[in-house]
Structure 1
Amino acid sequence: MFADWPGVETASAGLAPDADEPCTDELVEWADIIFVMERAHRARLQKRFRQSLKSARVVCLDIPDDYAFMQPELVALLEKKVGPLLK
């Protein structure tokens, strides 16, 4: 959703075993900022990728992970919470 923003490179990955794009050490090491929806996601990310998270900032958006992909309400929340952090 933020891929077209000037000066921003994005990637999306999931922590679930059946994620379409699973999160990897390489992806975590590449990132400057990692956004997670819920505190449980942040805890899982920190536990699983502790060694790789040395330079990335992890931001919990406190958005329940129960929205459908690109649901308009989710898009609005993401724009409100993530947008200012990318400027």
Structure 2
Amino acid sequence: MRILFVCGRARARSPTAEQIFARVPGIETASAGVSPDADEPVDVDHLAWAEIVVVMEPAHRRKLIRRFGAHLRGVRLVCLDIPDAYAFMAPALVRLLEARAGRFLPR
């Protein structure tokens, strides 16, 4: 399973998710951001690679759909509703990601 984690600037939430879920057997992960100044801006190659795209906020979903709607066909799009209030690998962020991502990870 290939999962792309998306947040605003790809500096805290999505890279944290990428790291923690990369340890799960059977999962490949990547992260990107929807902002123009993202460390890794999301592009069509990311979306073509992903089976699941996980966004952190509803605004990220809207931006993806507006910019890449045609490239999202056949891709499952999930929103975790995690605000931009955490540092990279913050223990509270890790716990929140683990709790909210369980519904789409392989068992």
Deviation track 1:2-49 (CA, whole Å, cap 9, x = no partner) reads 112100011101111111111010111111111111111110111111
Hey, what does 1:36 align to over in structure 2?
55
Bigger proportion of residues as strand: 2
Higher relative contact order (CA 8 A, sep 6+): 2
Q: Bigger shift: 52-61 or 63-72?
A: 63-72
Q: Distance in 1 between matches of 2:80 and 2:32?
A: 16
1:8 aligns with 2:27: yes
Alignment of 1:1-87 (within 5 A): 1-87=20-106
Q: Distance in 2 between matches of 1:38 and 1:25?
A: 20
Q: Distance in 2 between matches of 1:9 and 1:73?
A: 23
**Structure 1, unpaired ranges of 5+:** none
CA RMSD in angstroms comes to 1.0
SS at match of 1:2: helix
Identity of paired residues, percent?
56
Aligned residue-pair number: 87
Q: Which amino acid aligns with 2:40?
A: E
Name the TM-score, length of structure 2 as normaliser.
Answer: 0.77
Please identify runs of 4+ aligned residues in structure 1 that moved more than 6 A. none
SS at match of 1:46: helix
